[in-house]
């Protein structure tokens, strides 16, 4: 049986089995493929995992409980989970050149929580235990324990501000990290839209954080992690990088040297499903100093490992170690640069004047629109993006003034720089023909124009079949 037939057969058979129990679920799964095939997906955090990754998730590894980690399980009979976890970690350490990988986190948020607790255990709990001459928190008196709990909640974190592209999990109040840490933000230089390293150094010197967090959700430039590590060392902070968005560019060797976080950070977290193109999930990389604390992630903050997802992570990481992945990562950036150039040449304003990575942030205030209006007008026209704050955003975090677009998904699909220019034209047409209508959410857009653009988007995608080996 050819690989092509095997993939179709596998997905068809799976749907048939599901349909026999709950047809609505089989239909929703099949419909999702149809919808994804028809959508011009520019969501910077999404991608299309390979059939091998998807198929690795639907199996009986899901039935096994395996709390703990290799060599320290709370359940018996975990030999196959051990294999899966070891193979995924082997690929992760080799791919990223990290001494240690913890592949259990169920998502990026979970990976960050694991990292934060590992840092607190290392920097706060261990010294508190040493001070009272005890090995375990269970041996502490109530008074010692109360003092330690006070200390946990009083640590400082310096992370990128939300409007500059930081993420809620980097110490912001709506997320648990903002309750665990007292957060202060660093931002970008308003003139360049790029990280102000001098400002960051000054903030670190004054605030003296326990943790400095690098990484972002919506920053379009390379980050110099060597400088950030220097700053962390100057103030004695642990340097953590959340590479959730750009892990694929690190894996694909687009970000090397000062721009590769792994050799510079004490601890690195990531998701596996964005530019890395794996299953939904997270991962933590670190050196031996933090490895033991990181490995306590389950049951410290995580539920039992999703062994079937870890197996899919292993498959995705094996794929990312192939030379083709480096070509893929390079094309992601070529495409986002082509998109930025295409938009700029038509009169759009992109934050920081361009991009070095997989995403472009368009300042739609220049079109007289809020991000909310722009996002919906583009969606009406068959172009899927998401609204995002821009630095010093006049419209706040809900309506926003930006549109974030990213190229990992369309690059997986095979679109290249020529197609990016067409997309830039379609986006500019919609944005320049949309006008605000009385509130920050309402807008006017000629439905005939939206329909014409939508048709052009569909025609563009017709040459790039998604999951072309799969017919249901
Ligand atoms: N960290 C960053 C930088 C992100 O952009 C995101 C998601 O958008 C996350 C963490 C959270 O990832 P997840 O949705 O897998 O929890």
Entry field: residues in the chain? 472
Q: Would you call 9 helix, strand, or coil by DSSP?
A: helix
CA 185 to ligand 1 centroid distance, Å: 18
Q: Are 324 and 298 in contact (CB under 8 A)?
A: no
| Helix or strand (DSSP H, E) at 155 | strand 155-160
Kindly state if the Cβ of 108 falls inside 6 Å of ligand 1.
yes
Element (H, E) at 444: strand 443-444
- Ligand 1 within 6 A of CB of 271: yes
**Helices and strands (H, E) in the chain, number of each type:** 20, 16
Find, among 160, 180, 142, the residue nearest to 244 by Cα.
160
Ligand 1 site, residue 109, Cβ cutoff 6 A? yes
Pocket test for ligand 1, best of 217, 241, 246, 261 (most atoms within 8 A of CB): 217
Query: For residue 8, how far is its CA from the centre of ligand 1 (angstroms)?
Result: 31
Give the distance from CA 237 to its chain's centroid. 24
Q: Would you state the pLDDT for residue 4?
A: 52
pLDDT band for position 2 (50/70/90)? low
Residue 269 CA to ligand 1 centre (angstroms) = 10
Residues of CATH 3.90.1150.10 domain(s) within the chain? 324-461
Question: Has residue 352 got a pLDDT over 90?
Answer: yes
Return the pLDDT at 223: 98
How many CB atoms lie under 10 A from the CB of residue 384? 18
Domain 324-461 part of CATH 3.90.1150.10: yes
What would the pLDDT profile of 274-328 be if each residue is shown by its tens digit? 999 999 999 999 999 999 999 999 999 999 999 999 999 999 999 999 999 999 9
Mean pLDDT, residues 14-20? 98
Residue 138 makes CB contacts below 8 A (sequence gap 6+) with none
The boundaries of every CATH 3.40.640.10 domain in the chain are 62-320
Please list the residues that pair with 258 across neighbouring strands. none
- Beta carbons of 461 and 37 less than 8 angstroms apart: yes
- Give the model's confidence band at 24: pLDDT under 50 very low, under 70 low, under 90 confident, else very high: very high
Q: Which residues in 171-243 belong to E strands, given as ranges?
A: 181-186, 211-215, 238-242
Q: What letter does residue 279 receive in the DSSP assignment? A: S
User: Helix, strand, coil % (nearest 5) of the chain?
Assistant: 55, 15, 35
DSSP 389-437: --TT-TTHHHH-SEEEEE-HHHHHHT--HHHHHHHHHHHHHHHHH-EE-
* Beta bridge pairs of residue 443: 436
DSSP, residue by residue, 281-342:
-EEEEE-HHHHHHHTTHHHHT--S--HHHHHHHHHHHHHHTSHHHHHHHHHHHHHHHHHHHH
The protein residue whose alpha carbon is closest to atom 12 in ligand 1 is 108
**307: how many CB neighbours lie within 10 A of its CB?**
24
Answer yes or no: is the C-beta of 169 below 6 A from any ligand 1 atom.
yes
User: Is any atom of ligand 1 closer than 6 Å to the C-beta of 293?
Assistant: no
When pLDDT is averaged across residues 140-148 and rounded to a whole number, the result is: 97
Cβ-proximal residues to 199 (8 Å cutoff; 6+ apart), any chain: 186, 187, 189
CATH T-level topology, domain 62-320: 3.40.640
Q: Does 162 belong to an annotated binding site?
A: yes
For residue 188, name the pLDDT band (cuts at 50, 70, 90). very high
Residue 41 bridge partners (DSSP): 384
State in Å: Cα 171 to ligand 1 middle. Answer: 13
Q: What are phi and psi of 241, to 5 degrees?
A: -120, 130
* Best mutation site among 45, 213, 244, 388 for ligand 1 pocket (most ligand atoms within 8 Å of CB): 244
Residue 166 known to bind ligand: yes
How remote is the C-alpha of 117 from its chain's centroid?
20
- Rounded to the nearest integer, the mean pLDDT of the chain is 97
CA distance 220 to 463: 28
Quote the percentage of the chain above a pLDDT of 70.
99
Q: Is the CB of 170 under 6 A from ligand 1?
A: no
**Residue positions annotated with a catalytic role:** 65, 67, 242, 271, 274, 280
pLDDT digits (tens, 9 = 90+) for 110-121: 999 999 999 999
For the CA of 110, the nearest atom of ligand 1: 16
Cα of first residue to Cα of last residue in the chain, in angstroms, is 17
* Per-residue model confidence as pLDDT tens digits over 162-186: 999 999 999 999 999 999 999 999 9
Q: How confident is the model at residue 448 (pLDDT cuts 50, 70, 90)?
A: very high
168 is in an annotated binding site: yes
What's the sign of the alpha-carbon dihedral 359, 360, 361, 367? negative
Where does the pLDDT of residue 1 fall: very low under 50, low under 70, confident under 90, or very high at 90 and above?
A: very low
Q: How do residues 215-228 score in pLDDT, each as one tens digit?
A: 999 999 999 999 99
Q: Is the CB of 175 under 6 A from ligand 1?
A: no
Give the pLDDT band of residue 153 (cuts 50, 70, 90). Answer: confident
Residue 160: how many CB atoms within 10 A of its CB? 27
Instruction: Return d(Cα 237, Cα 229) in angstroms, integer.
Output: 9
Does 259 have pLDDT greater than 60? yes
pLDDT at position 335: 98
Q: Answer whether 67's CB lies under 8 Å from 298's CB.
A: yes
240 in helix, strand or coil?
strand
Atom of ligand 1 nearest to the CA of 106: 15
Torsion angles phi and psi, residue 60, rounded to 5: -75, -5
């Amino acid at each position: 049986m050819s690989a092509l037939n095997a993939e179709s057969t596998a997905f068809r058979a799976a749907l048939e089995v599901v349909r026999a129990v709950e047809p609505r679920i089989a239909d929703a799964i099949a419909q999702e493929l149809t919808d994804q095939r028809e959508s011009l997906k520019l969501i910077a955090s999404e991608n299309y995992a390979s059939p091998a990754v998807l198929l690795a998730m639907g199996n009986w590894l899901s039935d096994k409980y395996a709390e703990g980690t290799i060599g320290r399980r709370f359940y018996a009979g975990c030999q196959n989970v051990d294999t899966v976890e070891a193979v995924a970690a082997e690929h992760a350490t080799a791919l990223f050149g990290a001494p240690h990988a913890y592949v259990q986190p169920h998502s990026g948020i979970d990976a960050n929580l694991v990292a934060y607790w590992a840092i607190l255990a290392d920097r706060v709990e261990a010294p508190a235990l040493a001070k009272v001459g005890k090995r375990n928190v269970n041996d502490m008196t109530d008074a010692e324990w109360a003092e330690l709990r006070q200390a946990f909640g009083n640590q400082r974190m310096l992370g990128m501000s939300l409007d500059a592209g930081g993420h809620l999990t980097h110490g912001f109040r709506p997320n648990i990290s903002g309750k665990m840490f007292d957060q202060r933000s660093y931002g970008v230089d308003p003139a360049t839209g790029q990280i102000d390293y001098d400002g960051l150094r000054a903030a670190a010197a004054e605030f003296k954080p326990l943790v400095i967090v690098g990484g972002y959700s919506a920053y379009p430039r390379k980050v110099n992690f060597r400088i950030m590590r220097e700053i962390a060392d100057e103030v004695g902070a642990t340097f953590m990088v959340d590479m959730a968005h750009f892990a694929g560019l690190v894996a694909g060797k687009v970000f090397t040297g000062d721009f590769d976080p792994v050799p510079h950070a004490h601890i690195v977290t990531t998701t596996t499903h964005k530019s890395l193109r794996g299953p939904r999930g997270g991962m933590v990389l670190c050196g031996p100093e933090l490895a033991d604390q990181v490995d306590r992630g389950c049951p410290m903050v995580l539920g039992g490992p999703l062994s079937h997802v870890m197996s899919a992570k292993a498959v995705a990481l094996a794929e990312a170690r192939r030379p083709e992945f480096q070509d893929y990562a390079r094309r992601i950036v070529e495409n986002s640069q082509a998109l930025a150039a295409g938009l700029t040449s038509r009169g759009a304003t992109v934050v920081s004047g361009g991009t070095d990575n997989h995403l472009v942030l368009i300042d739609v205030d220049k079109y007289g629109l809020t991000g909310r209006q722009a996002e919906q007008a583009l969606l009406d026209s068959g172009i899927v993006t998401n609204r995002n704050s821009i630095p010093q955003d006049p419209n706040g975090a809900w309506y926003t003034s930006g549109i974030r677009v990213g190229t990992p998904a369309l690059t997986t699909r095979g679109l290249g720089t020529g197609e990016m220019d067409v997309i830039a034209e379609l986006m500019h047409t919609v944005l320049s023909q949309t006008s605000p209508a009385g509130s920050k959410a309402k807008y006017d857009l000629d439905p005939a124009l939206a329909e014409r653009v939508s048709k052009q988007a569909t025609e563009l995608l017709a040459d790039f079949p998604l999951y072309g080996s799969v017919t249901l």
